[in-house]
Amino acid sequence: MSTRDKLSVIGKSRRRVDGASKVSGQTKFADDIVLPRMLHCKLLRSHLPHANIKNVDTSRAERHPGVKLVLTGNDFPNEYGILPVSQDERPLCKEKVRFVGDPVAAVIALDEFTAEEALQLIDVEYEELATIADPLEGLNTPEARLHEYSEEGNIHKRLSYEFGDVDDAIAKSEHVFEDIFFYEGCTHLPMEQHAAVGHIEADGRITLWSSTQCPHYVHRAISKALEIPTARIRVIATPNGGGFGGKTDPFNHEIVVIKAAMLLGRPVKIALTREEVFYCHRGRHPVLMKYRTGVDKDGKLTGMHLQTMLDGGAYGSYGVASTFYTCVLQPVTYHLPRYAFDACRVFTNKPPCGPKRGHGTVQPRFGQEVQMDKIAEKLKIDPADFRLGVIEQAGAMTANYLKIGSMGLAECINKVVERSDWKNKYGKLPKGKGIGIACSSYLTGAGNSIYWNAMPHSGVQLKLDRSGKVTVFCGATEIGQGSDDVLVGMVAEVLGLDPLMIRCVTGDTDLTPVDLGSYSSRVTLMMGNAAIQAAERARDLIAEAVSKKLGVPLERLVFADMRVFDTEDPELGLDFHKAVVCGEEMHGTLGTTGSYAPPEPPGKYKGSGVGPSPAYSYSAAVVELDIDELTGWVHVERVYIAHDLGKALNPVLSRGQVQGGVYMGLGEALMEEQTFQRLPPRLSNALVHKTPSMLEYKSLTAHDMPEVIIDLIEDPDENGPFGAKEAGQGPLTPIIPAVANAVYDAVGVRIDEVPITAEKILKALDKKARGGEGRVGPDKFPEIEWPEPYEVPPPWEGGDGDAVNKPKRKRAAKMHEMDKFKKAVSS
């Protein structure tokens, strides 16, 4: 039996399955949940950037009318954190606070107003500590140390890898390019502020509704932080009002409301203010990066050495993974015969950085793509042609052992070149007008889970019964990207159904099989493959029964148009509804499952787990803009983007993802920045977020968005469901360097620093006018004591994917042991 060759759901633009609910205001976001007897929680947050907590006196707050409970750090037994290697967060701070906004106490009261009033009645005695404002300070200031478990002083983590002798390759190159770039931090700014409701049933079972992208990881974190078995906890991810990576960590407020609900026996809600969302952060790390790249006389890349330094903020979050991601995807776009990287993450007294759309790869892609532009100019090759000459091949294994599947980058480049009339514009536009190109690639799901395990990354369950109704269950989370729609679309296609006949239940750890969550662009591919497997198994069961009933050989049965029929005699068949009845008669209650785990990554060296993906998406973008040379004012006129997503499952949603990526990329290129400020040290120890508001954290409005011309390139990948790869994150990335390159084409200055503002352009123009280098950007990369690198010969130099040496690594102290040790010493 089969699905009809011609696809009937996949590849067609149609109303998303959650569309009607969203446009009618029926979608229940976390803060829309109201339960009987529900109480409200507010958090007291530190107003100091770094301090020891000497004492927390909650007695006045407890006496405040309407207050039901006040919690402090002492009420929580354990640390938690998203990565097993950085379990460094507490639901409420106990011994110290590490940034302005770190929560210290919680008040639960009859209403939010009362809870907020009572916060002012909590007396906290602090002992102020020296602060670390940026990674350079962190490198040079081991004390006061933010975390005892860090590798050394305030250095959280250092990495060093060599895939072949890069120094040798560069030394033998015709040209060597050395460039330093800086990418400022920015945040997700989802429209929905995080909210959560904790609830305990009379039998002691616990439920959390939360605006989380990763209910499975929240489930684990609650269990660990509160020492409750996971079987007693249910986490329901409400549809997220935007995530972009900002809701992928387990958060302190989620654990606090659970604890409060357990103690009070009543539902407890917390809804964060916008300012608090800025303190949750987990957004893009500020990254300083240095590229040394060799190019031979034919314009081929010979090798690249990349060094990055990340400003981690106050906690680990996904930071170790982010640190890898600033380096691992460079070889996926252009062939690099040899490659080396060093990376370092430093703790600072600011909200923790983590994963934002394009996790860790957006910053280095900016540097790499601007350097590519500089190389092309020096070599006097058209930047588009230069890129086409060095792109990696489909099916290739990179120097760092990433296996590429389908690779539509050449088509992407050709498409935007043609669409934008690049050949007639590049270098030929009147002064002040410019055009720039850049490319990118991104994962379609991380090849490894956050915690090591041999289980599926995504599970799907299907229930079918005599009603003809199909219900599909999956732990994946709808964050706006269309995850529910992909899930239903897969099942509808395989079973030949109208998507409206299928109900999906997602993101509920009690009801749905585990899916790791909506991050790393993994959902479409992983959940999609699991859904196909579950649906095909259901199809097999039904087909067997129908075949018997109608006397049609199995291989001639087709599932399409809500029927199961004989492909040679389409009149002979059953309505799907009746076919399910047949199936239920033959097999009893019908239910199937599907699982997906990514292929085993080819790399074997320690650290090879970050970077592998079942498939890589590719994008190329061209930006056209106008610059006023007297002010540096930028006006982006048009963006062309071509994105290779393997297969567009629901093209209207695919285009929406691409367009949204361009939007966010332009925001980061031009104005979005999460920056901090110290006041004059002789007067104040303050270190505060400069713009924790929707008004002052600048995101593009309807007026600021230029026309975007989108082409979806479909180069199907054998690992993708119906060939599909990701579209949610990749298209953001080329926009930023394309803007930088267009600025250069327009006015001949290099802004090697993001965001690219009028101020910086004017400064560069001034420098150029004075006869200097028309450039604004960092001049130095600091001296960092790198560890001995892992030496992994690339595949074409006889490598087997493992390191040939065994570098010594200082083992980071286990935090628990260190804490115990400190306690023992102090008592």
Partner 1 sequence: MSNITALKRNEKSNIHLSCEVNGEAVQVSVAPYKTLLEVLREDMSLTGTKHGCELGECGACAVLLDGEPVLSCLSLAVDAEGRSIETIEGLSDNAELHPLQAAFADLGGSQCGYCTPGVLVTAKSLLDHNPDPSREEIKEALSGNLCRCTGYQQIFEAVEEAIIRIGESGKGSVEVAR
Partner 2 sequence: MMRLPRFQYYAPRDIAEAAQILNSEGSDAMVVAGGTDLIPNMKRKQQMPKTLIALRKIDSLRQLTNGSGLNMGAGLSLTELVRNDKIKSDYAGLWQAAAQVATPHLRNMGTLGGNICLDTRCSYYDQNYEWRKAINYCMKKEGEVCWVSTGSKRCLATSSTDTAPALISLGAKVRLTSADEERELLLADLYQDDGIDYLMRRANEIVTEVILPDSNNWRSTYWKLRRRGSFDFPVLSVAAAASMAKDGSIEQARIVLGAVSSQPLVCEKVDEFLQGKKLSDEVIEEASLLCGKVARPVKNTDFNPAWRKRAIIRIATYALQELRGDDMSEQRLKIARHIL
- List residues binding partner 1 (CB under 8 A): 14-16, 18-29, 31-32, 34, 188-193, 239-244, 273-274, 479-482, 652-653, 655-656, 659-660, 662-664, 693-695, 699, 701-703, 705, 707-708
Instruction: Tell me which of partner 2, partner 1, none is bound by residue 626, counting a contact when its beta carbon lies within the kind-specific cut-off of 5 to 8 angstroms.
Output: partner 2
The only residue of 762, 776, 803, 815 in contact with partner 2, by rule CB under 8 A? 762
Report the alpha-carbon distance of residue 287 to residue 246 in Å, rounded: 18
Q: Nearest to residue 440, comparing CAs of 380, 516, 367, 548?
A: 367
Under a CB-based contact definition with an 8 Å cutoff, are residues 282 and 248 in contact?
yes
Nearer of residues 683 and 825 to partner 2, judged by Cβ: 683
Residue 764, helix vs strand vs coil: helix
When asked if residue 271 is in the footprint of partner 2 (CB under 8 A), the reply is yes
What b-and-e string marks burial along 289-302, b requiring 16 or more CB atoms within 10 Å of the CB? bbbbbbbeeebebb
Instruction: Tell me which of partner 2, partner 1, none is bound by residue 762, counting a contact when its beta carbon lies within the kind-specific cut-off of 5 to 8 angstroms.
Output: partner 2
Instruction: Give the CB-side neighbour count of residue 521, counting CA atoms within 13 A.
Output: 32
Instruction: Catalogue the E-assigned strands of 427-492.
Output: 433-443, 458-464, 470-474
Nearer of residues 20 and 130 to partner 1, judged by Cβ: 20
How many residues of this chain bind partner 2 (CB under 8 A)? 44
Under a CB-based contact definition with an 8 Å cutoff, are residues 112 and 68 in contact?
no
Q: What is the DSSP letter of 89?
A: B
Q: Nearest to residue 719, comparing CAs of 325, 361, 395?
A: 395
Residue type, 679: L
Nearer of residues 271 and 314 to partner 2, judged by Cβ: 271
Residues numbered 590-629 forming contacts with partner 2, rule: CB under 8 A: 626, 628
- Closest approach of partner 2 to the CB of residue 192, in Å: 12
Q: What is the DSSP letter of 567?
A: T
Instruction: Tell me which of partner 1, partner 2, none is bound by residue 331, counting a contact when its beta carbon lies within the kind-specific cut-off of 5 to 8 angstroms.
Output: none
Report the alpha-carbon distance of residue 326 to residue 347 in Å, rounded: 17
- Closest approach of partner 1 to the CB of residue 485, in Å: 11
DSSP sequence for 602-628: S--STTTTSS--S-EEEEEEEEEEEE-
- Closest approach of partner 1 to the CB of residue 664, in Å: 7
Instruction: Tell me which of partner 2, partner 1, none is bound by residue 152, counting a contact when its beta carbon lies within the kind-specific cut-off of 5 to 8 angstroms.
Output: none
Residues numbered 664-723 forming contacts with partner 2, rule: CB under 8 A: 671, 679-680, 683-684, 686, 688-693, 695-696, 698, 700-704
- Closest approach of partner 2 to the CB of residue 694, in Å: 8
Segment interacting with partner 2 (CB under 8 A) among 46-54, 166-174, 582-590, 819-827: 46-54
Q: What is the DSSP letter of 371?
A: H
* Structure tokens, 592: 């199937």
- Closest approach of partner 1 to the CB of residue 24, in Å: 6
Instruction: Tell me which of partner 2, partner 1, none is bound by residue 692, counting a contact when its beta carbon lies within the kind-specific cut-off of 5 to 8 angstroms.
Output: partner 2
Nearer of residues 707 and 773 to partner 1, judged by Cβ: 707
Integer angstrom CA distances of residue 490 from 484, 493, 569, 726, 792 = 10, 5, 26, 15, 40
Q: Tokens 């900016």, residue? A: 366
Instruction: Catalogue the E-assigned strands of 431-556.
Output: 433-443, 458-464, 470-474, 502-506
Instruction: Tell me which of partner 2, partner 1, none is bound by residue 481, counting a contact when its beta carbon lies within the kind-specific cut-off of 5 to 8 angstroms.
Output: partner 1
Under a CB-based contact definition with an 8 Å cutoff, are residues 366 and 736 in contact?
yes
- Closest approach of partner 1 to the CB of residue 188, in Å: 8
Q: For residue 56, how many other CB atoms are within 10 A of its CB?
A: 21
- Closest approach of partner 2 to the CB of residue 247, in Å: 18
- Closest approach of partner 1 to the CB of residue 656, in Å: 4
- Closest approach of partner 1 to the CB of residue 275, in Å: 9
Nearer of residues 32 and 637 to partner 1, judged by Cβ: 32
Nearer of residues 45 and 387 to partner 2, judged by Cβ: 45
Residue type, 99: F
Alpha-carbon torsion angle 67, 73, 74, 80, nearest 10:
130
Helical residues (DSSP H) of 681-814, grouped into ranges = 735-747, 758-769
Sorted by sequence, the CB contacts under 8 Å of residue 538 that are 6+ apart come out as 462, 464, 470, 495, 590, 592
- Closest approach of partner 2 to the CB of residue 433, in Å: 12
Instruction: Tell me which of partner 1, partner 2, none is bound by residue 691, counting a contact when its beta carbon lies within the kind-specific cut-off of 5 to 8 angstroms.
Output: partner 2
Instruction: Tell me which of partner 1, partner 2, none is bound by residue 690, counting a contact when its beta carbon lies within the kind-specific cut-off of 5 to 8 angstroms.
Output: partner 2
Nearer of residues 331 and 667 to partner 1, judged by Cβ: 667
Q: For residue 174, how many other CB atoms are within 10 A of its CB?
A: 13
Nearer of residues 695 and 824 to partner 1, judged by Cβ: 695
- Closest approach of partner 1 to the CB of residue 42, in Å: 14
Residue 398, helix vs strand vs coil: coil
Instruction: Tell me which of partner 1, partner 2, none is bound by residue 482, counting a contact when its beta carbon lies within the kind-specific cut-off of 5 to 8 angstroms.
Output: partner 1
- Closest approach of partner 1 to the CB of residue 457, in Å: 23
Residue 488, helix vs strand vs coil: helix
Instruction: Tell me which of partner 2, partner 1, none is bound by residue 454, counting a contact when its beta carbon lies within the kind-specific cut-off of 5 to 8 angstroms.
Output: none
**∠ CA 647-336-646, rounded to 5°:** 0
Instruction: Tell me which of partner 1, partner 2, none is bound by residue 784, counting a contact when its beta carbon lies within the kind-specific cut-off of 5 to 8 angstroms.
Output: none
Q: For residue 750, how many other CB atoms are within 10 A of its CB?
A: 21
- Closest approach of partner 2 to the CB of residue 704, in Å: 5
Instruction: Tell me which of partner 1, partner 2, none is bound by residue 686, counting a contact when its beta carbon lies within the kind-specific cut-off of 5 to 8 angstroms.
Output: partner 2
- Closest approach of partner 2 to the CB of residue 633, in Å: 7
What b-and-e string marks burial along 775-809, b requiring 16 or more CB atoms within 10 Å of the CB? bbbeeebeebeebebbbbbbbeeebebebeeeeee
Residue type, 646: G
Sheet with 339-347, edge to edge strand ranges: 753-754, 175-183, 287-295, 301-313, 339-347, 155-163, 790-791
Segment interacting with partner 2 (CB under 8 A) among 109-117, 143-151, 500-508, 560-568: 109-117
- Closest approach of partner 2 to the CB of residue 765, in Å: 11
The only residue of 172, 548, 587, 635 in contact with partner 2, by rule CB under 8 A? 635
Instruction: Tell me which of partner 1, partner 2, none is bound by residue 480, counting a contact when its beta carbon lies within the kind-specific cut-off of 5 to 8 angstroms.
Output: partner 1
Nearer of residues 701 and 827 to partner 1, judged by Cβ: 701
Instruction: Catalogue the E-assigned strands of 254-413.
Output: 268-271, 287-295, 301-313, 339-347
Nearer of residues 20 and 171 to partner 1, judged by Cβ: 20
When asked if residue 45 is in the footprint of partner 2 (CB under 8 A), the reply is yes
* Structure tokens, 815: 């935090």
Segment interacting with partner 2 (CB under 8 A) among 47-55, 299-307, 423-431, 575-583: 47-55
- Closest approach of partner 1 to the CB of residue 699, in Å: 6
Nearer of residues 421 and 759 to partner 2, judged by Cβ: 759
Nearer of residues 703 and 770 to partner 2, judged by Cβ: 703
Residues that bind partner 2 (CB under 8 A): 31, 45, 47-49, 100, 112-113, 116, 271, 273-275, 626, 628, 630-633, 635, 671, 679-680, 683-684, 686, 688-693, 695-696, 698, 700-704, 757-759, 762
